[in-house]
Every structure is written in structure tokens, then in C-alpha cells.
Amino acid sequence: MNIPLEDNFGDVIGKAQRGLEISDSDLAEKARLDANAIRKLRGGHFDELALFRIAPVLGLGARALSDLAQNEYQPAAREIDGLAMFNTPFHDMRVNAFLVWDAKSRKAIAFDTGADCRPMLDRVAKEKLAVKLILLTHAHTDHIADLGRLKKETRAPVYISERESIPGAETISEGHEFNVGNLKIKALLTWGHSRGGMTFLITGLARPIAIVGDSIFSGSMGGGNVSYKDAIKNNLEKILTLPDETIICPGHGPMTTVGEEKRHNPFFAGRV
């Protein structure tokens, strides 16, 4: 499945500006540029000198941002045995949901629903799986749009962060652990994009897996809608400290790895 990056370099610049509350005129003054140059960058016009001037002001990795602008970064992560990704259209975007299962017991966990859970249910039937849990990364509509059907078809209990409860779901706190077959799932609170954003760390497959919702994207991150500062901090401390080979499964865009994002994500390159 060839899925494009969720954000381009202009999107990254815009998210950093909004998160830091830096206007075009302020950024232009600090970077010694004309405000029009800022607007052109954010609109997708590549100017390497201007980009290298604004990056440190915005706390972004200049080289990683330049590589993103020149389409030189595409993550290499792929599905492994016991992991499947489902990418479905939701209005003017696409959203991901994931299925993880233990090959021996055939017990599975669904992570989010996407806009349409039918492809996930088809895979469950094909693999002869039994979904034992539905774990939600956060409550934004695109991630839980088909929760009613998924819950009805699987009869599995639903869990979400205690900071972001929804009808029909039980709440959990950070550090909560689940065991499904030989798989172990640990909940990590990586809020900032949403109040209760959760990352679910799964061990027991060939590689560790982190289902991160909108905390991190390949080459970007979800906007810091609630707290940009805490979104950055939680991503650095709770996701990017995981082993480099950990597969990151984001809510939008392609899968990636911790190692790749430490090197290539403009928000984090040079910080870890």
C-alpha cells in the first residue's frame, strides 16, 4: 500500500508557527526575511536559504525540513506478520486503523476504526481471528467513525483514555496493560494533539509496534491543538525513546519507525 506523507514542508512550517504562536511578521523579523517569503514557503515554494533561516526559529531540523521539501524522505516501514493497516477515505482526507494479532491463539486487537471498518472485518474473517479488544487512540471523529459497527460485529469491549471518554467505551489511565494471547499492550499518554491522546505499545511480534494515533506522522505530527509544547515533549519522551526498530503506526500517512523519525522528522531531528 503506497500511502503518501500526510504533510508537506509547508504544512510542517504552519503547524510549528501555530504551535509557537509566531506570526508571519514575527518569523520574518527573527529570520531576517520578508514576510512574503514566509508565506511563499508555507504555500509550497522551496527556497533553501529561507528555509534554513526559519528552521531554528521554529525549532525545526533544517536538513530534515529541506529533505521533506525536496521529496527526499519516504519511510521504508511495512506490515509484518500479525500487523495490518487499513486506510479509508474520510471527507477530504484519509485515515488509518490497525489490526494486530497473535498468530498462535488467533486473538486480535483493533486500534481505531477509520471511516469504514469493513476492510478490517474482512481481514478478521480471512485470518480467522477473534477480536478481543478495541483500543482507541483518541476521540476525534475520523478515528471512531465506524465504532458502532465494529463493536456490534466483534462484541469486543472498547477502551479509551480517561481524559477523553465517549459513550460505550471504558476508560483507562496511562500505564494500563492488556494481555492478548502472547501479546502485551501498554498504554502511554501522548496528549497534546487531543486531551487524551494514547499511544499503544505492543510487544510479542517480530518487532515492537507503537500505535500512535495523531501524535506523530511520518515526517510530521498532529497539530498541537490542545498543547503544542506537551505534544512535542510527550513524543520525545514516550515514543522516540522506544527502540529504533519500533514500527510507528500513525493515524494518517504511511507507517514509519522510531529510528527514521529521529533522523528525518523536522520536529524532532537533532533533538534525540
Q: Could you please report the per-residue DSSP string of 76-106?
A: -----TTEEEEEEEETTEEEEEEEEE-TTT-
CB 184 within 8 A of CB 203: yes
Q: Which pLDDT score, from 0 to 100, does residue 240 have?
A: 98
Buried-exposed string 221-231: b where 16+ CB fall within 10 A, e elsewhere: bbbbbeebebb
Q: Which pLDDT score, from 0 to 100, does residue 70 have?
A: 95
CB 124 within 8 A of CB 131: yes
Average pLDDT over residues 252-264: 97
Query: What values do phi and psi take at 44, rounded to 5?
Result: 110, 5
Cell of 6: 500526510
Strands (E), the chain: 83-90, 93-101, 107-111, 130-135, 158-161, 170-172, 177-180, 183-189, 198-203, 209-213, 247-250, 256-257
Q: Across the chain, how many H-helices and E-strands are there?
A: 10, 12
Rounded CA-CA distance 246/201 in Å is: 9
Average of per-residue pLDDT values in the chain: 96
pLDDT bracket for residue 1 (50, 70, 90): low
Sign for the CA dihedral angle at 187, 251, 142, 86 comes to: negative
Rounded CA-CA distance 171/164 in Å is: 8
CB atoms within 10 A of CB 141: 10
Domains, in order of start, for the chain:
9-69 (1.10.260.40), 83-264 (3.60.15.10)
- pLDDT tens figures, 100-109: 999 999 999 9
Q: Which of 110, 45, 61, 107 is nearest to 84 (CA)?
A: 110
Q: Could you please report the per-residue DSSP string of 31-47?
A: HT--HHHHHHHHTT---
Residue 190 has pLDDT above 70, yes or no: yes
Residue 16 has pLDDT above 70, yes or no: yes
CB 120 within 8 A of CB 156: no
Cell of 167: 459513550
Q: Which of 95, 49, 94 is nearest to 69 (CA)?
A: 49
**Amino acid at position 211, single letter:** I
CB atoms within 10 A of CB 219: 29
Q: Which pLDDT score, from 0 to 100, does residue 2 have?
A: 84
CB 75 within 8 A of CB 263: no
Residue 185 has pLDDT above 90, yes or no: yes
The whole-model pTM stands at 0.97
Sign for the CA dihedral angle at 230, 232, 233, 234 comes to: positive
Torsion of CA 176, 172, 153, 120, to 10 degrees: -60
Residue 29 has pLDDT above 70, yes or no: yes
